[in-house]
């Protein structure tokens, strides 16, 4: 005898049949939401597996593909339209119910955040990774970039919002309320995106420092005792952090739009600003250098092996030029299999149209900065007259715009990045050439007409 369906299973079954927005669906939505709200991890996983099973009808898709290939043009359009419907997972209809007014997307956002945690930490959840892709696509389709609202956050905002801001900072940890207040000062700005589908909560935020010159060190920005700059006379705006407030929205590119919208807002507020750039980490640089092994010079490897080398004037002076040259090579030449830059922060800013403007030595001497990038940071510049063309060039061929100074550093680096092909001796090359000539001669002879 089959097991009796649970209330959630019965609710999900009903939501598959009811149109979105129907009043009869609301009781079933409440059943699902209230049950999941008090569920433990194993129960949430069971619910996620239930959603995962509500996929496309593979047999129906196969039939649709056959009709699309076999019909005349007019009928092909009809067949393709039906195929598009067949390719929509059944779960999407259920998710539309769960995210429909008077509710919002919060349930689905939190559900995806939980799923991402399970996939990352639990072996029994690994098979749910494709469901994560589907949930991300579902959320991205409902968070229209045109409805995003840019807001400058200030010390006058609610304590709950500011606490969430501090907790979500992913690049440079907030060290208490005084540190947070300093980041919200007049010569420091925080801009965030809000969306009506998730009212009252920032989706992503960026922190900006207003200065006279483009900073070369994160300490100069985060130093609470640093001399204040009159915002109205500042010439440079430096984006030094961008963080996601909603783990369930990871992978949806709000950050790309955020920087450009913040630039436009700053230009309106402070017309004397001339330079818009970032001070960014190189999170994969040190690991990449270590992976080069003996291709890195013995002198560099020996200096890096000195404990606390960055606090030694002699060791840091010896490493400055070699590591800056390697960092330039890393940003311009180290690639993934698809041809995109290896560094994730570089991919973000270059895809957004920025230029690699400058490399900064020991710009982040914190333990984390030394561990991930030997303290090197990069300034990516958002040149208003160049970033639209840069964005298209990167999208089409992963083309990288870099300043002449950065390119010169990369060209000066002597490190061989790829293993050299095996050398071929002169004798072996000669024998191979002779064999090729003999082979071509035999083919010509075999094609020649017979003579009497």
Catalytically annotated residues: 280, 349
To the nearest 10 degrees (0 to 180), the angle between helices 129-142 and 41-53 is 80
Beta-carbon contacts of 394 under 8 Å, excluding residues fewer than 6 positions away, are 350, 351, 353, 400
Q: Where does 176-232 have alpha helices with state H?
A: 177-183, 218-222
d(CA 334, CA 288): 9
DSSP string, 24-89: HHHHHHHHHHHHHHT--HHHHHHHHHHHHHS---HHHHHHHHHHHHHS-HHHHHHHHHHHHHHTS-
To the nearest 10 degrees (0 to 180), the angle between helices 90-98 and 106-121 is 130
Distance, first Cα to last Cα, the chain: 90
Element holding 236 (H helix, E strand): strand 236-244
Instruction: Return the structure tokens found at 407.
Output: 């390119």
Residue the block writes with tokens 């700059």: 229
Instruction: Return the structure tokens found at 298.
Output: 């013995």
Instruction: Return the structure tokens found at 4.
Output: 């009796």
38, burial (CB in 10 Å: exposed 0-12, middle 13-18, buried 19+) = exposed
- 5: helix, strand or coil: coil
Task: List residues bridging with 204 in a β-sheet.
Answer: 193, 244
d(CA 340, CA 217): 27
d(CA 47, CA 293): 47
Q: Give phi and psi for 400, each to the nearest 5.
A: -110, 125
Beta-carbon contacts of 343 under 8 Å, excluding residues fewer than 6 positions away, are 282, 283, 284, 285, 330, 331, 334
Instruction: Return the structure tokens found at 98.
Output: 């769960």
């Amino acid at each position: 005898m089959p097991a009796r369906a649970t209330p959630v299973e019965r609710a999900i079954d009903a939501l598959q049949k009811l149109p979105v927005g129907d009043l009869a669906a609301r009781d079933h939505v409440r059943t699902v939401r209230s049950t999941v709200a008090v569920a433990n991890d194993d129960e949430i996983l069971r619910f996620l597996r239930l959603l995962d099973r509500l996929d496309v009808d593979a047999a129906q898709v196969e039939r649709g593909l056959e009709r699309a290939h076999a019909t005349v043009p007019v009928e092909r359009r009809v067949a393709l339209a039906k195929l598009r419907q067949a390719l929509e997972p059944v779960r999407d209809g259920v998710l539309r119910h769960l995210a429909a007014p008077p509710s919002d997307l919060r349930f689905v956002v939190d559900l995806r955040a939980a799923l991402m945690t399970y996939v990352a930490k639990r072996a029994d959840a690994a098979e749910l990774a494709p469901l994560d892709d589907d949930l991300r696509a579902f959320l991205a389709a409902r968070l229209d970039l045109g409805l995003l609202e840019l807001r400058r956050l200030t010390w006058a905002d609610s304590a709950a919002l500011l606490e969430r801001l501090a907790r979500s900072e992913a690049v440079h940890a907030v060290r208490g309320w005084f540190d947070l207040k300093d980041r919200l000062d007049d010569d420091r700005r925080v801009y965030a995106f809000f969306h009506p589908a998730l009212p009252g909560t920032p989706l992503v935020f960026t922190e900006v420092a207003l200065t006279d010159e483009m900073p070369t060190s994160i300490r100069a920005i985060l130093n609470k005792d640093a001399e204040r700059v009159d915002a109205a006379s500042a010439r440079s705006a430096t984006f030094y952090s961008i963080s996601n407030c909603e783990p369930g929205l990871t992978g949806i590119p709000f950050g790309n739009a955020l920087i450009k919208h913040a630039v436009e807002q700053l230009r309106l507020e402070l017309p004397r600003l001339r330079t818009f750039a970032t001070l960014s980490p190189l999170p994969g640089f040190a690991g990449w250098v270590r992976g080069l092994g003996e291709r890195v010079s013995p002198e560099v490897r020996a200096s890096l092996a000195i404990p606390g080398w960055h606090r030694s004037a002699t060791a840091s002076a010896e490493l400055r030029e070699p590591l800056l040259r390697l960092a330039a090579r890393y940003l311009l030449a180290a690639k993934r299999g698809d041809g995109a830059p290896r560094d994730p922060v570089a991919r973000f800013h270059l895809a957004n149209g920025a230029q690699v403007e400058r490399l900064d030595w020991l710009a982040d001497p914190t333990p984390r900065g030394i561990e991930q990038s030997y303290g090197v940071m990069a300034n990516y510049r958002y040149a208003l007259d160049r970033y639209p063309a840069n964005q298209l060039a990167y999208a089409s061929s992963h083309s990288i715009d870099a300043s002449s100074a950065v390119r010169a550093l990369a060209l000066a680096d002597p490190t061989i990045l790829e293993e050299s092909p095996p050398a071929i001796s002169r004798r072996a090359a000669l024998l191979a050439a002779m064999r090729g000539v003999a082979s071509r001669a035999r083919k010509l002879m075999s094609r020649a007409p017979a003579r009497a």
